[in-house]
Amino acid sequence: MAAVLVVAILAVAVIFALRGDDTTNTATPSLITSSPVSQPPLTPSTASSTPSTSPSTSAPASGEQTATDCTENVSGGSLTGSMAQAGQLGFPLSAAPGWAPAADATLPNAIDVVGVIREVADAEDWMMEAMVGVTNFVPSMSLADQASKLLTCVADGPGFAGASPTLGTPTKSAIKVDGVEAERVEAEVTIADTTRGIPGDNLVIITVKTDPVTFFVATTPIGDSDSHDQVQKIIDALKVSGR
């Protein structure tokens, strides 16, 4: 997804386009936060409060499920041991070898967003990510409608800012995540910015019937079957807690 700057919280140092590392590391993972390259570099103290741009917005989110349209991000998340966990939805970091743990404080309509990211090889300032979060949509909005709206908000949001994105026709399906009702929507987001060296991303959104509703989001380069397969392995590893 979208070019990003990454901030290493523990080191309090900005690093550009973090590269994944397949080597085994037994130390506790360091969490990083991401922001669009079109914004100034974030610092740990501003990572969760710096406004992100979004096309159409409802009233600013306050951590509650009040939105009916696109809003800016509510908050990035934090690691729970070896799990990327938001609300009742999570996945083990071991499901994404070579990816770096990260929090996303820019994803629209999202609360406590955490997961993994990896730089796209041979692309210019481009990252792929797999994240879980809690939506801020009103409870009366159906799972399917939340998935579709989130797809639109992410495609139009700060992650693709400056790349002239176009959202393709989505495919939709009702699925189960760890035995829980869920909705999956997927589409290509092509970009007109040829300097990126990439045609765009395959964007996947899954909303899960938890209380409040949680979601999974992933972006991988169009045509990158290996990364797409890796994301599917992460999806297969999704767990719903508290049941």
Instruction: Give one word for 130, left, alpha or beta, with left for phi > 0 and alpha for psi -120 to 50.
Output: beta
| pLDDT confidence tier of residue 64, bands split at 50, 70 and 90 | confident
CATH, domain 83-240, list 3.40.1000.10, 1.20.140.10, 3.30.565.10, 3.40.190.10: 3.40.1000.10
User: Could you tell me how many residues make up the chain?
Assistant: 243
| pLDDT confidence tier of residue 1, bands split at 50, 70 and 90 | low
| 77 in Cβ contact with 216 (< 8 Å) | no
**The predicted structure's pLDDT at residue 213:** 98
What does the radius of gyration of the chain's CA atoms come to, in whole angstroms? 16
Q: CA 51 to CA 4: how far, in whole Å?
A: 15
| pLDDT confidence tier of residue 46, bands split at 50, 70 and 90 | very low
| 6 in Cβ contact with 164 (< 8 Å) | no
Model confidence, pTM: 0.80
Q: Give the residue from 130, 142, 136, 37 showing the smallest Cα distance to 90.
A: 130
User: Residue ranges per domain, the chain?
Assistant: 83-240
